């Protein structure tokens, strides 16, 4: 059989949900983009120069030298001292809670995927921003939802308009998903007023808000806006009554390679997620949870400070280079944190076509913006990550890109 | 709100699949069983005395000392040198393949869960042994399948009998799942004739066989039986044409705490699984994959030999204690490997009731067998794990248990 025939022979066997999951192959693209020789503003990954390698060495040695066994299976909800650390961290963000309000996940990606499986049935609606985090669309799409658009910064649509559309599709509105701080891909932060409006809408629709806080610690300037879960706890009196869930991660501050994130929410919800975790992979790597606890105790605050200074410098370089080189008609966001700047090209420009030219003629890579829209809009947008490039590369990259535009 | 009211408020929000996943809470039971003071034959976990702690220390130090970055994100299919090692390992088992036939998963549990999501739609049928691995039932149940029973050791049922039953439920027969070697929970091994019969049935039904090889390396005596995938590759000429998938793991030989397992299968299938992996958790912990590669290179064969000798001794102790103490009417399996002995009590005895008495009156724990049946049979059966107890504990535990029976 040929390779195509072999693939075709499997095709009818796959569940519909798995076909939906396969729709976006953008990560394959990212792999190609991050090739040596290419000035890449594509992958949104942390700068490895920031990784706390010495802390990690010390932590692994300590865990493997202690009698508590990092090499054994563990409980599905996660390592208790780590969950206690996370609960204290959440308290510091305005979310008083305890360890039973936390489940440890393999990065916040797994948290999103679990919440999709817990809440979404085929035909149900997930409310998302447009654009939004591509990985969330991938995670939810395995549950075969439809999507509808949130615009909390510009006033909510009426609840009835969401409900009518989803009823026609045979489902219910089941969740709202946002990246409130320095969003992937736009770099923008939801204002306090928008967060309040979002909670108002969620209350009217009686749905939970899933808050993806991947970049929250990476604020360069301005005052932090309270997490949506903190506002909801304030409204409802307790996290146990809250209709909001917080997905956190150590990936952007300490290390993504250990795959340690968490979900914070009401205990009733966390208990259900623990059953999904058991069925999915039994538990997150025991040793990595113990090591992350060590590293968080030893280095979290210092790492946050280092990362903020580091990425702030890079953002400034990128904004300066855009200012210097981009022609009129091109606009971009000015994020107060995170890893991304979002660029809007003149209407009619196709960023996917630009990418092909850019790779060939300029050796500059970025991610075309269309992939971040649930409905295929945004062809004239693109995402630039400033996490990896130095000042000279950034300037050279933007000069080349501007010439192509 | 009371705790019950809080839980009830979430209940209508959950997808039906998540409710199915929640059905089995046996792992919660296992946690209670493995309390200090209890002679536990319940949890089927490796003996930590066997863990290669020094190898792990050396491997983490080496990975963190090298420029390749274990702390960074990685590709979803897994760390290439580890996949190459696994491909060679599979070759040694009679499955010639290369790294692209392998995806790294968070233990074989994640492999089972992914294969369920890839293949099973609601109402489809998964063919399983009765009893079978509880974690597979948990993993598949999130896809809302029905189950039907495989009995390859006793001659197959007709394909039509499976097809008719699943058509009435509105689905298709989509997969067969077995633990061919030293099965959890029975300890039994499928004969070569049974494997061939199973592949015959699968060919007639045109479905893949999922082979859960968690215990395969732990053979104490007798000749290895070829993996089902090896037999299928022989039949079809190449792994690319095979309709069988192999779920392997390092958990029973090296360490379960790193959560490193794999799926081996045709490249077309592996590529689809990579998309599910991306959507589910991006990648398995990078550092653990690198460390597992180091440990596998340094210690796999020696660890296999140590584990075989260690568990063989324990199996012999348990079989001797059963022989010495159990009354007539009680029978048990005599496994050639693995971690489990399966006990059948006189008809009418309820092992769940026995467990309650046993915990209270004898401080002896085991897992009642009913949980391992997809259809609630087997109330007079129980699983004993011999992985953790010493000779004296085993003898004392069986003497106490026998008195209660």
Question: Which DSSP string corresponds to A231-291?
Answer: HHHHHHSSGGG--EEEEEESTTTT-STT--EEEE--HHHHHHHHHHHHHHHSSS-HHHHHH
Query: How far is the C-alpha of B338 from the C-alpha of B385, rounded, in Å?
Result: 9
pLDDT of residue B28: 53
Q: How far is A276 from chain B (nearest CA, A)?
A: 7
SS3 at position B385: strand
Q: Which residues of A touch B113 (CB under 8 A)?
A: 279-281
B275 interface with A at CB cutoff 8 Å: yes
pTM: 0.96
Query: How far is the C-alpha of B164 from the C-alpha of B148, rounded, in Å?
Result: 11
Query: How far is the C-alpha of A225 from the C-alpha of B124, rounded, in Å?
Result: 47
Query: How far is the C-alpha of A254 from the C-alpha of A56, rounded, in Å?
Result: 9
Token output for A109: 């990606």
Cβ–Cβ under 8 Å, residues B59 and B298: yes
A117 interface with B at CB cutoff 8 Å: yes
Q: Which residues of B touch A34 (CB under 8 A)?
A: none
Region B56-65: what's the mean pLDDT?
A: 97
Query: How far is the C-alpha of B389 from the C-alpha of B371, rounded, in Å?
Result: 23
Token output for A185: 């891909």
The total number of residues shown for chain A amounts to 405
B273-303: per-residue pLDDT in tens? 999 999 999 999 999 999 999 999 999 999 9
| B59: pLDDT strictly greater than 90 | yes
ipTM over 0.90: yes
Angle, nearest 10°, between helix axes B134-141 and B107-119? 40
CB contact under 8 A, B71 and A48: yes
Contacts of B223 (CB under 8 A, 6+ apart): none
Domains of chain B, earliest start first = 3-51+302-404 (3.90.1150.10), 67-299 (3.40.640.10)
pLDDT of residue B7: 87
A241 interface with B at CB cutoff 8 Å: yes
Residues 282-311 of B with CB under 8 A from A: 282-288
Query: How far is the C-alpha of A165 from the C-alpha of B332, rounded, in Å?
Result: 59
| B227: pLDDT strictly greater than 70 | yes
Measured CA distances, B326 to B41, B299, B314, B345, B401 (Å): 16, 39, 17, 10, 8
Q: Is the peptide bond before A131 cis (omega within 30 degrees of 0)?
A: yes
pLDDT of residue A106: 98
pLDDT of residue B26: 57
Contacts of B136 (CB under 8 A, 6+ apart): B112, B128, B177, B179, B212
Across the interface, which of A27, A60, A240 has its CB nearest the CB of B60? A60
B236-252: per-residue pLDDT in tens? 999 999 999 999 999 99
B297-319: per-residue pLDDT in tens? 999 999 999 999 999 999 999 99
Token output for A169: 């599709």
Q: How far is A248 from chain B (nearest CA, A)?
A: 14
**pLDDT tens digits in sequence order for chain A, 405 residues long:** 788 888 888 888 888 888 776 545 555 565 555 566 788 899 889 999 999 999 999 999 999 999 878 999 999 999 999 999 999 999 999 999 999 999 999 999 999 999 999 999 999 999 999 999 999 999 999 999 999 999 999 898 999 999 999 999 899 999 999 999 999 999 999 999 999 999 999 999 999 999 999 999 999 999 999 999 999 999 999 999 999 999 999 999 999 999 999 999 999 999 999 999 999 999 999 999 999 999 999 999 999 999 999 999 999 999 999 999 999 999 999 999 999 999 999 999 999 999 999 999 999 999 999 989 999 899 999 999 999 989 999 999 999 999 998
Query: How far is the C-alpha of A364 from the C-alpha of A344, rounded, in Å?
Result: 17
CB contact under 8 A, A288 and B283: no
B110-149: per-residue pLDDT in tens? 999 999 999 999 999 999 999 999 999 999 999 999 999 9
Q: Which residues of A touch B135 (CB under 8 A)?
A: 278-279, 282
A25 interface with B at CB cutoff 8 Å: yes
**In degrees to the nearest 10, what's the CA dihedral of A325, A328, A330, A334?**
70
């Amino acid at each position: 059989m040929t390779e195509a025939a072999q693939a075709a022979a499997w095709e009818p066997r796959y569940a519909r949900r798995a076909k939906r999951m396969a729709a976006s192959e953008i990560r394959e693209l990212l792999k190609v983009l991050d090739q040596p020789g290419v000035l890449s503003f594509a992958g949104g990954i942390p700068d490895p120069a920031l990784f706390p390698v010495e802390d990690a060495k010390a932590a692994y040695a300590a865990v493997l030298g202690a009698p508590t066994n990092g090499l054994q299976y563990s409980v599905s909800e996660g390592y208790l001292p780590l969950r206690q650390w996370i609960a204290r961290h959440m308290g510091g963000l305005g979310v008083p809670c305890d360890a039973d309000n936390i489940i440890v996940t393999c990065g916040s990606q797994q948290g999103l995927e679990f919440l999709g499986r817990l809440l979404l049935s085929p035909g149900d609606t997930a409310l998302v921003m447009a654009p939004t985090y591509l990985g969330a669309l991938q995670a939810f799409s395995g549950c075969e939802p439809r999507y509808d658009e949130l615009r909390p910064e510009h006033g909510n649509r009426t609840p009835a308009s969401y409900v009518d559309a989803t009823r026609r599709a045979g489902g219910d509105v089941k969740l709202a998903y946002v990246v409130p701080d320095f969003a992937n891909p736009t770099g923008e932060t939801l204002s306090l007023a928008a967060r309040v409006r979002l909670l108002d809408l969620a209350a009217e629709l009686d749905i939970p808000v899933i808050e993806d806080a991947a970049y929250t610690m990476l604020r360069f300037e301005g005052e932090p806006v309270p997490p949506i879960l903190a506002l909801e706890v304030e409204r409802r009196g307790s996290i146990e009554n809250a209709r909001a869930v917080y997905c956190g991660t150590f990936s952007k501050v300490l290390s993504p390679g250990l795959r340690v994130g968490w979900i914070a929410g009401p205990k009733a919800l966390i208990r259900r997620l623990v059953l999904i975790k058991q069925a999915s992979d039994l538990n997150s790597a025991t040793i990595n949870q113990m090591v992350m606890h060590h590293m968080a105790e030893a280095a979290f605050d210092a790492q946050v400070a280092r990362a903020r200074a580091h990425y702030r410098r890079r953002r400034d370089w990128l904004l300066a280079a855009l200012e210097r080189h981009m022609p009129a008609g091109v606009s971009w966001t000015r994020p107060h944190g995170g890893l991304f700047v979002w660029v809007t090209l003149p209407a009619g420009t196709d960023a996917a076509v630009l990418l092909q030219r850019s790779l060939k003629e300029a050796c500059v890579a970025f991610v075309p913006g269309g992939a971040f829209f649930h409905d295929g809009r945004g062809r004239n947008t693109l995402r630039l990550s400033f996490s990896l490039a130095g000042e000279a590369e950034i300037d050279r990259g933007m000069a080349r890109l501007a010439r192509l535009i």
